[in-house]
Structure 1
Amino acid sequence: MFERLFPRRAPEPKPLPQPNAQLALGALLVRVAFADKDYKAAEIGQIDRILAQSFDLNPIEAAKLRATCEALERDAPGTPEFAAILREEVDYADRKALGDAMWSVALADGDRDDAEEEQLSQIEAALGLTDIDIQAARENALRSI
């Protein structure tokens, strides 16, 4: 009875953190995995491994970071804004390695998907990678499947 008179309000969502290089990378990895509308455990595990290795995190810290990145990816700016953060804060060699890492996420589920590959191409271009490096990353990734 009291529920009808005094309905519970949904709690206010916590504000999302300002994107930094860690969050931008994680959000772009999640964006690649979500591109095919099928976010699989293999992709989640690969994202966690990349975050753990990139930022020297233990598995729980990496999973928490990924969860924050998932929320950020849903509600935050588009790919160009995330890529701009990475272009400003990460040198070219490391951005090139990020492209390789993103390919590993796109292929983690064992399926090639046009939507994931298109999303990945847009991200690589936004990161400022050269066409030669983009093609090399793609060829290396496809050889591994």
Structure 2
Amino acid sequence: MMASLKRWINDVAQQEDASSGVDLSLATAVLLCEVIRADYRLDDSEIHLMRSQLKEQFELEDEALDELMTLAREEAEGAVDHHRFVRELRDRTGYQDRVALVQQMWALAFADGEKDALEEHRIRALAELLHVSHSDFVRTRIVEQNRAEGV
């Protein structure tokens, strides 16, 4: 009896582990959505850049991209926290991919021509959760700030 109960518990735990995985494109889109929502203004330039980033990174057709953008917005607006998305990215991507994601976040922050303190705060918090070093956080900010200023 105990053995069968133990086996059942293990089976349920394995099913939960297998189903808890979040698609990396969705996890990425949700975090990018968090950045563009940070200043409580959705600027068309930010949305356009986010679409472009996701389309290029994940090689998506327009229909799949529309679906991803909608789902990301819903997740970003409805989730209590975003740790499951952060955890998936942290656990399933390499360090350089996470640094590249932080750089994408900075590009979004500068897309509307101004860096908002709320956007910077959100990017800083996400970079820390993604275990991106402070030096890479600063370096990616400088790269994108220079790009935005045309330097």
User: Which residue number in structure 2 is paired with residue 99 of structure 1?
Assistant: 102
Instruction: Tell me the TM-score normalized by structure 1.
Output: 0.82
User: Which residue number in structure 1 is paired with residue 128 of structure 2?
Assistant: 125
> Match of 2:34, SS?
helix
Structure 1 regions of 5+ residues with no counterpart? Answer: 1-16
Instruction: Tell me the TM-score normalized by structure 2.
Output: 0.79
> Match of 1:137, SS?
helix
Q: 2:45 aligns with which of 39, 42, 47?
A: 42
In the aligned structure 2, how far is the partner of 1:106 from the partner of 1:67?
A: 20
Aligned residues: 129
Runs of 4+ in 1 over 3 A off after TM superposition: none
Sort the Cα spacing of 1:71 and 1:18 in 2 relative to 1 into closer, same or farther, 3 A: farther
User: Is 60-69 or 122-131 further displaced after alignment?
Assistant: 60-69
Structure 2 regions of 5+ residues with no counterpart? Answer: 1-19
In the aligned structure 2, how far is the partner of 1:134 from the partner of 1:60?
A: 33
Conservation of the 8 A alpha-carbon contact between 2:90 and 2:98: yes
Give the superposed CA RMSD.
1.6
In the aligned structure 1, how far is the partner of 2:30 from the partner of 2:51?
A: 12
Matched, 1:26 2:29: yes
User: Is 133-142 or 73-82 further displaced after alignment?
Assistant: 73-82
Shift of 1:102: 0.9
In the aligned structure 2, how far is the partner of 1:108 from the partner of 1:19?
A: 27
Q: Deviations over 1:93-128 (max 9, x none)?
A: 111111111111111111210000110111111111
Give me the identity figure in percent.
26
Counting helix residues as a fraction of each chain, which structure ranks higher? Answer: 2
In the aligned structure 2, how far is the partner of 1:111 from the partner of 1:46?
A: 15
User: Which residue number in structure 2 is paired with residue 3 of structure 1?
Assistant: none
